[in-house]
């Protein structure tokens, strides 16, 4: 075999081996899925449970001290202006019940009356008449009867009295609410209340309404916290009122339980990284691997912000122009890789 043939043979073997080695190397290069970041609108929510009720209306305030002898309404019942609410036995005022006016009584007679316990003290003098405080046990005055009527059209809510209740002048007996306005009353845990503000939008769902959604707005946040009981035990909560703005139908009833999703943050043009695209170095710093045109995965440190359902916001380090490696668990910095596909970011 001459030298030329030997050279050709050796060259062929080298080329073949090179192809084999190249094929093996190519087969061992990992495949990656890449994506780029697209600006999107994101929001985060706080989910709370509560109950539907009528919006608080005008309170019915008693003008008298007395005892309710008959109640004509019930909570949730509708009334029209002028309808009977309750009958009342009016008690005399303390002053009327405790004072008696005497005339023509000399000091000795008055002294004897005081000693006998029929009168407790001498109060005032008015000319020839003497005003004294009569012993409560000796007061016997007839009770006046009166009927209280509704001052507005609406629905009875927050009924505070029943037949036999004793009420005082200035005390609220019930509220009359607008039948067309409802609200959700929530008990929000202290771990969530700091995120809630008046004016935030709310999505309200109710099992009894087959998933129908009502829209609402946070209208009031309680001033004090209180202890409430739940299936998890006692917890500290704050009352939050959500006014229902839309979606109320005839099927909506006070007392229904609801789930409210309160939007506590909304941001436009946010860049979200999937959670599994983020890696951490030995110092705990966050980074991602970006795919370069030469097929090399390069490390880029990132700073992240708020977390959302679909990912975590990236504040700095990468832009929409970067090709980010998705789920780079087996890929290291400056590793070669080949693109297997493109995903969504």
Contacts of residue 320, defined as CB under 8 A and 6 or more positions apart, other chains included, come to 36, 37, 38, 39, 271
Q: What is the pLDDT of residue 295?
A: 87
Comparison of pLDDT for 30 and 173, the residue scoring more: 173
Is pTM, for the whole model, over 0.75? no
Residue 341 has pLDDT above 50, yes or no: yes
pLDDT number for residue 271? 92
Give 28-41+270-342's CATH code, choosing from 2.40.420.20, 3.40.50.1360, 1.10.460.10, 3.20.20.10.
2.40.420.20
Mean pLDDT of 93-117: 53
Judged against a pLDDT cut of 60, whether residue 242 lies above it is answered with yes
Q: Cα separation of 62 and 149, whole Å?
A: 11
Q: What is the reported pLDDT for 300? A: 94
Pairing relationship of beta strands 279-280 and 324-326 according to DSSP bridges? unpaired
Q: What digits encode the pLDDT tens for the residues 153-167?
A: 889 888 889 999 999
Domains of the chain by residue range = 28-41+270-342, 47-55+181-268
Q: For position 208, what pLDDT does the model report?
A: 86
Residue 182 near residue 254, CB atoms below 8 Å: yes
pLDDT tens digits, 278-302: 999 988 999 999 998 788 999 999 9
Query: Please, which pLDDT band fits residue 240 given cuts at 50, 70 and 90?
Result: very high
* pLDDT surpassing 60 at residue 253: yes
How confident is the model over 105-127, as a mean pLDDT? 53
Q: Which of 162-166, 197-201, 246-250 has the lowest mean pLDDT?
A: 246-250
- Give the residue with greater pLDDT, 92 vs 158: 158
Q: What average pLDDT does the chain have? A: 80
Residue 304: exposure state from Cβ atoms within 10 A (0-12, 13-18, ≥19): middle
Q: Tens digit of pLDDT for each residue in 117-147?
A: 555 444 443 334 444 444 444 444 456 889 9
Domain 47-55+181-268: which CATH number of 2.140.10.10, 3.40.30.10, 2.40.30.170, 1.10.10.10:
2.40.30.170
User: Residue 199 has what pLDDT?
Assistant: 95
Lowest mean pLDDT among 38-47, 107-116, 331-340: 107-116
Nearest Cα to Cα of residue 215 among 171, 263, 177, 180? 263
Mean pLDDT for the stretch of residues 258-272: 92
**324 or 97: which carries more pLDDT confidence?**
324
pLDDT value of residue 114: 58
Whether the CB-CB separation of 212 and 206 falls below 8 Å is answered with: yes
């Amino acid at each position: 075999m001459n030298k030329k043939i030997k050279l050709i043979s050796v060259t062929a073997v080298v080329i073949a081996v090179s192809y084999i080695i190249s094929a093996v190397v190519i087969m061992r290069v990992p495949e990656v899925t890449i994506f780029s970041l697209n600006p999107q609108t994101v929001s985060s929510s706080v989910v709370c449970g509560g109950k539907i009720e009528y919006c608080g209306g005008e309170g019915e305030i008693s003008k008298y001290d007395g005892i309710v002898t008959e109640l004509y309404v019930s909570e949730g019942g509708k009334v029209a202006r002028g309808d009977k609410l309750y009958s009342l036995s009016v008690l005399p005022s303390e002053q009327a019940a405790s004072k008696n006016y005497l005339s023509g009584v000399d000091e000795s007679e008055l002294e004897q009356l005081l000693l006998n316990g029929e009168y407790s003290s001498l109060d005032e003098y008015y000319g020839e008449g003497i005003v004294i405080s009569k012993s409560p046990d000796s007061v016997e005055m007839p009770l006046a009867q009166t009927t209280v009527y509704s001052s507005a059209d609406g629905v009875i809510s927050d009924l505070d009295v029943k037949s036999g209740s004793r009420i005082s002048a200035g005390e609220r007996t019930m509220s009359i609410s607008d039948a067309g306005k409802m609200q959700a009353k929530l008990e929000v845990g202290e771990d969530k209340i700091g995120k809630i503000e008046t004016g935030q939008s709310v999505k309200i769902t109710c099992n009894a309404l087959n998933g129908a959604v009502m829209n609402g707005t946070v209208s009031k946040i309680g001033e004090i916290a209180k202890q409430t009981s739940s299936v998890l035990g006692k917890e500290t909560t704050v009352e939050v009122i959500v006014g229902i703005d839309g979606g109320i139908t005839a099927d909506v009833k006070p007392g229904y339980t609801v789930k409210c999703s309160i939007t506590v943050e909304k941001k436009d043009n946010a860049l979200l990284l999937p959670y599994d695209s983020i890696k951490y170095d030995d110092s705990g710093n966050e980074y991602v691997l970006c795919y370069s045109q030469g097929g090399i995965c390069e490390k880029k440190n990132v700073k992240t912000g708020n977390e959302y359902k679909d990912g975590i916001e990236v504040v700095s380090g990468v832009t929409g122009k970067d090709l980010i490696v998705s789920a780079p668990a087996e890929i290291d910095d400056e590793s070669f890789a080949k693109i297997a596909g493109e995903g969504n970011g």
